[in-house]
Chains A and B, each alone.
Chain A
């Protein structure tokens, strides 16, 4: 299995809703990432999990709450989002440990989020 699976593919939510994005990989990668991408912009790093521990939080608002229940799963919990949070949310994974520096990230297909 060489894929990162993200669900749902599309999500429309109101500003008072609570929803979660899910990401799963079975490549044995011990680093997992959440990125946000707006149209015609590069992906913007939000969170990094390394060995299931949060290692980087790029000053993301608290209405985004990541969770890594185990080495294969990554969630992003959403609450009280704003219309400007509408974007493509990408999950990625990569190996850790010796030799990992020469491996790229594998991206999931993304969740297209619209906040209304």
Chain B
């Protein structure tokens, strides 16, 4: 079983809509969760982190964590064409020395 699972997409949303990206993880020992955005040919850029149950908002981005369901999501409100990228979910496990485990990424396209 993979540590982190993401729907690879592609996910297409119209400009101005809400994009919803989802991620599940297998190990309840996972403690910290991160969303990275990666444009084609570029390096990953950290956009959100969350480690407590509930919602965390930063501008147009909201991360949601449900540890009971082992589920983390990223909502992007008022999606813009510049949000078109691959979004990587990453999970950090304290038990393995804070090692990161990446999902396979979800490709998002925002259609003007």
A contact set with B: CB distance below 8 Å: 31, 41-43, 45, 48, 50, 55-56, 88, 90, 94, 96, 100-110, 112
Contact = CB atoms under 8 A, between A and B. Distances in A.
Given A50-B97, A108-B43, A109-B43, A102 B88 contact: no
Interface of B: 31-32, 34, 36, 41-46, 49, 51, 88, 90, 92, 94, 97-100, 102-105
Contacts of B36: 104, 107
B51 A102 contact: yes
B104 A56 contact: no
Chain B interface mostly: strand
7 contacts: A42-B88, A55-B97, A90-B44, A100-B98, A102-B32, A104-B32, A107-B36
A43 B92 contact: no
Given A42-B88, A45-B100, A101 B46 contact: no
